[in-house]
Structures are given as structure tokens and as C-alpha cells.
Amino acid sequence: MKQKALAAIRDKLLEKRKSILQSIEREEGKKIILAKSKIINGDRVDEANMLSEMEVYGRLEEMERKKLQGIDQALERIEEGIYGRCVVCGGEIDERRLLAIPEARMCVFCQTVQEKMRASTGGVHGKSFSQSHSGPNQAKCSCLKK
Ligand SMILES: [Zn+2]
């Protein structure tokens, strides 16, 4: 990959990282406000509401944290000089794809396979599990070590 493209992707990742951190902070802030309002009002209805709202914020935050993780990993891969390689097949990921989704870890082909697996009933450990693990990579998959 060209240095120029890589630099642009790095900038994008850093920018995304910043905005995610900000939104996590916002979620945290909302939780604190909720907790405080609970102390003031303190009745049972409020408590139930708060718990479900907290749960929503918690879930949002978890999603943001997952995104953040992906971005951090991408930045690490840039540092290591292995950015742009598919983590599954080792092939090069299309540059246009990386510009659109800088945290992409898989090439289009592997991503499609994964999505199909997830979409099928039972997910990774369902019907498609044995099909997807019949190749030479069988020993490498962590799902089988359980
Ligand atoms: Zn691949």
C-alpha cells in the first residue's frame, strides 16, 4: 500500500477514535445524571426506568468500545507494518475498501463468508460451523479449543 494512502487511513482512524471516545464520555455522563436523579427522586418507578435506561446506555457503550478496539487494532497493525492484510487469508485488502472502512480486518471475500455464517441459524457454532472448519485451518480456529 502507498504511504500516502496509509497516512490518510491513519488520520481517519485517529479521527474516528476521538469521536468514539467523546461519545463514550457522553454515555458515561448520561449514566451519572441518571444515577444522580435517582438519588433525588428515589421512588420505585424511577428505579425501574433508570435500570432499563442504564442498560441501553451500557449496550451503546459496549458497541462503542468494540469499535474502539477495532480501531486500536488497526492502528497497531499500521505500526507493525502489516496493515491492509486480511487476518483470515493473508491476502491484500482492497485499498478502496480500507479507505471506506479503515478498521476492516478482512478482505471482501472473507468478510462475506463470515457474514453468511453469522446470518445462518446458529451462527458460527451452528450448521455452517462444520462446513467452515473443514479446511486445513481447522487446528487454528479458537472455537475448537473449547
Ligand atoms: Zn481474506
- Residue 32: per-residue pLDDT: 86
All residues with CB under 5 Å from ion ligand 1: 86, 88-89, 91, 107, 110
Could you tell me the distance, in angstroms and rounded to a whole number, from the CA of residue 43 to the centre of ligand 1? 54
- Residue 146: per-residue pLDDT: 44
- Residue 122: per-residue pLDDT: 57
Could you tell me the distance, in angstroms and rounded to a whole number, from the CA of residue 111 to the centre of ligand 1? 7
Element (H, E) at 28: helix 3-41
Could you tell me the distance, in angstroms and rounded to a whole number, from the CA of residue 101 to the centre of ligand 1? 15
- Residue 65: per-residue pLDDT: 93
- Residue 2: per-residue pLDDT: 80
- Residue 44: per-residue pLDDT: 62
DSSP one-letter code for 128: H
Could you tell me the distance, in angstroms and rounded to a whole number, from the CA of residue 109 to the centre of ligand 1? 6
Q: Is residue 92 classed as helix, strand or coil in its secondary structure?
A: strand
- Residue 77: per-residue pLDDT: 94
Residue 125 has pLDDT above 80, yes or no: no
pTM here is 0.66
Could you tell me the distance, in angstroms and rounded to a whole number, from the CA of residue 92 to the centre of ligand 1? 8
pLDDT tens digits, 10-40: 999 999 999 999 999 998 888 888 888 776 6
pLDDT tens digits, 61-112: 899 999 999 999 999 999 999 999 999 999 999 999 999 999 999 999 999 9
Q: Report yes or no: 1 and 42 within 8 Å, Cβ to Cβ.
A: no
- Residue 34: per-residue pLDDT: 80
- Residue 1: per-residue pLDDT: 75
122 CB-near residues (< 8 Å, 6+ apart): 128, 129
- Residue 42: per-residue pLDDT: 60
Could you tell me the distance, in angstroms and rounded to a whole number, from the CA of residue 84 to the centre of ligand 1? 10
- Residue 138: per-residue pLDDT: 45
DSSP one-letter code for 42: -
Could you tell me the distance, in angstroms and rounded to a whole number, from the CA of residue 49 to the centre of ligand 1? 45
Q: Report yes or no: 69 and 49 within 8 Å, Cβ to Cβ.
A: no
